[in-house]
Homo-oligomer: A and B are copies of this chain.
Amino acid sequence: MEPLPEVTDPRVIDGRKIAQAIEANVKNEVGRFIKEHGIKPALATILVGEHPPSKLYVKLKHWACKRVDIISEDHKFPQEAKQEEIIELIETLNRRPEIHGILVQLPLPKHIDEREVMMRIAPQKDVDGFNPLNMGKMLIGREGFVPCTPKGIVRALEEFNIDPQGMEVVVVGHSNVVGKPAAIMLLNRNATVKVCHVFTKDLKSHTKEADILIVATGVRGLIKGDMVKEGVIVFDVGITWFDEKVYGDVDFDDVLPKVKLISPVPGGVGPMTIAILMEHTLMAARLQVGD
């Protein structure tokens, strides 16, 4: 990947800068943790198949571990791996006390039931927040391990001193990994929240209402300038690979003139998501040593 140009436009959220600040703090805390407990936090990743973006994301996560002094363990399965093999590995990792966090890179091949796999990760090692127990705690307002991407969005809002209470949030996409948890986390912060998706009629009439627009559909360039109102804050969570480049769900150049803030793709929520994962791995390590 070529390095991204520096962000100079004050409307553009520099996800890498926010991520660096989070990681600097994690690194610091990891140092203290090692001193106190004589062990390093450790993350195990599981990758199934040869999907190039997934391979890249896992690699980025290992690099982040290295930056913050977290041990990372790399587990790989071929595309045709059986569900039981993956679950067996998860159960081994659940039992190993020196592993604190377990991350299964999504999406999994179609013959595997993702929800079944996510349910098997021990809740206290579930750094991605996809175990239904952690999802349910989030739903009732006890946020512990929550999905990293929406948590990154919440963190970015805090960074800009934006309190979502009473604001109109529109989430486009109702996936279990981004759309639904983002909606819940903003609802927990007393925003008025609407969730739209592929079955929503006249999408534009909804997106135009948003004070904060979170888009996570995987449809490249779905959101155009005429679909948002002046002064909107946009989080683009979409990622489409085309010709070895990544594109978001938002037509960035078209939308930019109207925004108060926008997270670009790449360099927006991606790095923040990884930084939160580091935070969660440290949190998992603390939980397991009884801190």
Contacts and interface: CB of A to CB of B under 8 A. Distances in A.
Interface of A: 115, 118, 130-142, 165-166, 174, 176, 180-181, 183-184, 187, 190-197, 199-201, 206
A36 to B, nearest CB: 29
Contact of A197 (B142, B192, B200): B192
B194 A187 contact: no
A184 to B, nearest CB: 7
Nearest to A186: B195
Given A137-B132, A137-B136, A180-B187, A194 B197 contact: no
Dominant SS among interface residues on chain A: mixed
Contacts of A183: 183, 187, 195
A115 B142 contact: yes
A140 B201 CA distance: 23
A172 to B, nearest CB: 10
A245 to B, nearest CB: 32
Nearest to A198: B190
15 contacts: A115-B140, A131-B136, A132-B142, A133-B133, A134-B136, A136-B136, A139-B180, A140-B176, A141-B176, A174-B190, A180-B184, A183-B187, A183-B195, A192-B197, A192-B206
Contact of A193 (B138, B195, B201): B195
Contacts of A187: 174, 180, 183, 195
Contacts of A131: 136
A192 B184 contact: no
A166 B196 CA distance: 9
A181 B195 CA distance: 14
A139 B176 contact: yes
A195 B191 CA distance: 9
A128 B115 CA distance: 23
Contacts of A166: 199-201
Contacts of A132: 133, 135-137, 139-140, 142
Q: Considering the complex of A and B, which 4 residue pairs feature the smallest CB-CB distances, nearest first?
A: A136-B136, A132-B136, A135-B136, A194-B194
Contact of A184 (B130, B139, B165, B196): B139
B142 A139 contact: no
Given A132-B137, A193-B194, 5 more contacts: A140-B176, A141-B176, A183-B183, A192-B200, A192-B206
Nearest to A118: B140
A194 B131 CA distance: 25
Most buried by B among A140, A142, A165, A183: A140
A108 to B, nearest CB: 14
A137 B200 CA distance: 24
Contacts of A133: 132-133, 136
